[in-house]
Structure 1
Amino acid sequence: MEEDNIKIDQQEIPSILYFNTYNPEQLTHTQWQQDISKHTAKYNELSNNEILSHDEFQSLIDNNYRFWVKVVNKNPYYHKDSYLIELFLSYINKQITFYIERNTYKQISINN
């Protein structure tokens, strides 16, 4: 029975979440260049982290970064209280892999 609860719980968690899905084609050339620079700098800042904290995740949303998150593993071997995710920033062709606390992901997925 407990196994069924886990399956139900995992199905309720969205596998992919999108944030700040504005259309970059509506930006001026200067705004577009600034947006690319902003996203590139954030990628460089985050790329060496192993864990994405709630505050860092919320900061991405609040500061209007355009990104999406994909859950790779809902039951990782390490960091049992977390999900393993891939975060994709707009304009960057590489994902960043993080652990994020389950409660943070659930809370943000509900608010998204």
Structure 2
Amino acid sequence: MHNYFDTYVVVAVLLLAGVAIVAGALAANRLLRPSRPTAEKLTTYECGVDPVGEGWAHSHVRYYVFAYLYVVFAVDAVFLFPWATIFAAPGYGLITLGEMFVFIGFLATGLAYAAKKGVLSWV
């Protein structure tokens, strides 16, 4: 008879083996690589242009709002695709349809609010 926790032993052994392989590879890399740091190698590289000025750059908040709206609608797609596949299954008819229209209504309300505030105008 198997104990319940015997299955976790296999997971723990595989986890330890994975950590050992990664740690061994990193240790071998550190031991075998040449280390010749120079001032030029230690400077920040930015697309072939030498860094000038301080490291802080100001960005308009509008870019972050566009990224946030993209994440919201990507999550929307994550919920809509499974819904579309299960909608035809028996027992998921009008209730599922109503729930998805409520969900889409919340998203549409957020999009209408963003449009009203002028967030969606690029310039």
TM more than 0.5: no
TM-score, normalised with respect to structure 2: 0.24
Q: Which has the larger radius of gyration?
A: 2
**Alignment TM-score, normalising by the size of structure 1:** 0.26
The structure that is strand-richer by fraction is 1
RCO comparison, higher one (Cα < 8 Å, 6+): 1
